Amino acid sequence: MSIAAIALLVVAAAVLSGLLVWRFMTYRGQRVIICPETQQPAGVALNAWLAARTPGDANLRLQSCSRWPERHDCPQGCLAQIEASPDATLVRNIVAAWYGDQQCVFCHRAIGMIEWHEAIPALRASDGSLKEWEGIAAEDVPAILATHNAVCWNCNLTEGFRREHPELVTDRAQTVLRDLAIH
Ligand SMILES: [Zn+2]
């Protein structure tokens, strides 16, 4: 085999594997759909490697569902919702879109774009308690968003500290300079 042919093969392999990874990234992630059986939200994830390797909506299959193992043999009718709205069923997108329209309940600043790796905003429940996203199940996300207020990353930190260590926190009047220093 000539060097040119080998080079062509290497390039082709790189393109194909890049395409495979891109497709995998497109399909992976926790999603929330309305289960056709219960008409209630369920948390699901696609078999992303299967979908990436075999193009076409016909090869979409679930890898997990919050109703499993009880309904492990269900016909996966919810896949039609994912095919129709691949982006809008992703929990990450649902949460990001919600925060995009919210103001922090404490400082009233717009939350805006989420920095997922360093500054994830939090939530305040109707009883005033603060909640972070870790441990919240995908199927609970619609109910959580409907019943909680948004809390920006900064206020979650300061408010959380204030609640855990009230003896260390002295409230001072808000000033423009202090406000700028915090945010
Ligand atoms: Zn805030």
Q: Pick from 89, 115, 135: which residue ends a domain?
A: 89
> Domain range holding 62?
29-89
In a domain, 178, yes or no: yes
Distance 126 CA to ligand 1 centre (A): 17
The whole-number pLDDT of residue 153 equals 95
Q: Pick from 66, 89, 112: which residue ends a domain?
A: 89
User: What is the full DSSP assignment across 140-157?
Assistant: GHHHHHHH-EEE-HHHHH
Structurally, how many domains does the chain consist of? 2
Q: What's the CA gap between 154 and 169, in Å, rounded?
A: 15
Distance 43 CA to ligand 1 centre (A): 29
Distance 130 CA to ligand 1 centre (A): 12
Query: Tens digits of per-residue pLDDT, 86-97?
Result: 899 999 999 999
Share of the chain above pLDDT 90, in %: 58
The answer on 133 and 75 residing in a single domain is: no
Query: Tens digits of per-residue pLDDT, 19-41?
Result: 888 888 888 999 999 999 999 99
Distance 109 CA to ligand 1 centre (A): 6
The answer on 161 and 109 residing in a single domain is: yes
In a domain, 164, yes or no: yes
Q: What's the CA gap between 129 and 105, in Å, rounded?
A: 12
The answer on 163 and 119 residing in a single domain is: yes
The answer on 111 and 165 residing in a single domain is: yes
Q: What's the CA gap between 28 and 20, in Å, rounded?
A: 12
In a domain, 20, yes or no: no
Mean pLDDT of 1-17: 83
The whole-number pLDDT of residue 177 equals 57
The answer on 80 and 139 residing in a single domain is: no
Residue 31: φ, ψ to 5°? -125, 160
The answer on 69 and 42 residing in a single domain is: yes
The answer on 108 and 84 residing in a single domain is: no
Is the pLDDT score of 101 beyond 90?
yes
Mean pLDDT of 38-51: 94
Q: What is the mean pLDDT of the chain?
A: 88
Cβ atoms of residues 147 and 125 within 8 Å: yes
The answer on 158 and 118 residing in a single domain is: yes
Residue 171: φ, ψ to 5°? -80, 130
The answer on 139 and 75 residing in a single domain is: no
Share of the chain above pLDDT 70, in %: 90
Residue 119's beta-bridge partner residues? 115
DSSP 32: E
> CA of 92: how far to CAs of 63, 133, 173, 176, in Å?
18, 11, 37, 34
Distance 114 CA to ligand 1 centre (A): 13
Distance 25 CA to ligand 1 centre (A): 32
Mean pLDDT of 61-86: 94
Distance 123 CA to ligand 1 centre (A): 11
In a domain, 4, yes or no: no
Q: What's the CA gap between 103 and 101, in Å, rounded?
A: 7
The whole-number pLDDT of residue 58 equals 65
The answer on 66 and 123 residing in a single domain is: no
In a domain, 176, yes or no: yes
Query: Which of the four pLDDT bands, split at 50, 70 and 90, describes residue 8?
Result: confident
Distance 95 CA to ligand 1 centre (A): 17
Distance 87 CA to ligand 1 centre (A): 28
Distance 158 CA to ligand 1 centre (A): 9
> CA of 105: how far to CAs of 66, 111, 138, 153, in Å?
31, 10, 23, 12
The answer on 112 and 60 residing in a single domain is: no
Is the pLDDT score of 10 beyond 90?
no
In a domain, 11, yes or no: no
